[in-house]
Copies of this chain bind each other. A is one copy, B any other.
Amino acid sequence: METTLKSEKKEVKISFDAPFVIIGEKINPTGRKKLAAALTEGDDDYVRQLAISQVEAGADILDVNVGVPGLDEVAVLPKVARLVSEVVEAPLCLDSANHKALAAALADLPGKPLVNSVNGEEKSLGAVLPVVKEFGVSVIGLTMDDSGIPNDAETRVAIAEKILERAARLGIPANDVVIDPLVLTVGADSMAAAITLQTIQLLRQEFSVNINLGASNVSFGLPDRHTVNQAFLSLAMGVGATCAITDPIKLASTIRATDLLMGRDTYGARYIGYWREHQPPKEAA
């Protein structure tokens, strides 16, 4: 199954047979004080810099989240999305739970962005899916609902099925719904990642949908988070994840290596090309 996102000038395809798609996570003020201040004060240059540096580091798509308490998302999300779209060619992933902010940004953006996100809650399905349909875009569906995040794979898969069905009823095809199986930190529950991996496997078997990961939560609270994040990305790619909202600066090399090992990089051209552009020349270890 193939999900196609577009900016004015660029098209990105997400599919199991293509290289993994990196959605840059850094334009999100949660836990980033400097960005929160920049968004509040209208420091556009800082936002532009975050956009450019992520694309240079290998991001294919950029997540844009302006969720600062007190800020009017309906006014600010379109403005920041437009700003980012003017400095990079990457399609955007509009990250908001506010359907009015999503609609306002979609009305103003060229191409076919990704909406992040809908979930299985009635309120979310009822508010977000009509906007996705109206603008003919794609959406990330989170496997949680009014009862929270299930702690077993089967119930998460059932929520994914519900989201896919509700989307289909509105005429949104399955290839415009990217399922996010959610991952909690293994620091709190040592089965957390195993459940997510099992969910990915089942989703791939049953629906062949594209699968997104919020790939940095998994290591929260643990030492040497980078090693855990690297291992999780490789494991998740191995069982069927096709894109992730993550830090391209830290994780693009692991993603390129995993694509190569999975046979998605003929002659290793992407892997070696990435290394040449991003690493100081040194002896191969």
Chain A interface residues (CB < 8 Å from chain B): 186-187, 190-191, 193-194, 197, 218, 221-228, 230-232, 234-235, 237-239, 253-254, 257-258, 260-263, 265-268, 271-272, 275-276, 279, 284-285
This chain's copy number in the assembly: 2
Minimum CB distance partner of A253 in chain B:
B227
How many angstroms between the C-alpha atoms of A284 and B261 in the bound complex? 29
Distance in angstroms from A28 CB to nearest chain B CB is 17
Q: Within 8 Å CB of A218, what residues of B? A: 261
Q: Within 8 Å CB of A239, what residues of B? A: 238
How many angstroms between the C-alpha atoms of A152 and B143 in the bound complex? 37
How many angstroms between the C-alpha atoms of A226 and B275 in the bound complex? 13
- Contact: A272 with B228, CB < 8 Å? no
User: A227 touches which one: B232, B238, B254, B262 (CB < 8 A)?
Assistant: B254
- Contact: A234 with B223, CB < 8 Å? no
- Contact: B186 with A275, CB < 8 Å? no
Distance in angstroms from A263 CB to nearest chain B CB is 3
How many angstroms between the C-alpha atoms of A276 and B224 in the bound complex? 10
- Contact: B190 with A267, CB < 8 Å? yes
Q: Output the residue of A197, A218, A253 with the most chain B CB within 10 A.
A: A253
- Contact: A285 with B194, CB < 8 Å? no
Question: Quick one: given A197-B238, A222-B284, A238-B234, are A257 and B227 in contact (CB under 8 Å)?
Answer: yes
Distance in angstroms from A230 CB to nearest chain B CB is 6
Q: Which 3 A-B pairs have the closest CB atoms?
A: A194-B263, A234-B234, A193-B261
Q: Within 8 Å CB of A190, what residues of B? A: 260, 263, 265-268
How many angstroms between the C-alpha atoms of A276 and B194 in the bound complex? 24
Minimum CB distance partner of A225 in chain B:
B285
Could you list 15 examples of A-B contacts with CB < 8 Å?
A197-B261, A197-B262, A221-B284, A222-B268, A223-B275, A223-B276, A225-B284, A226-B285, A228-B260, A230-B230, A231-B257, A232-B257, A232-B261, A235-B258, A235-B262
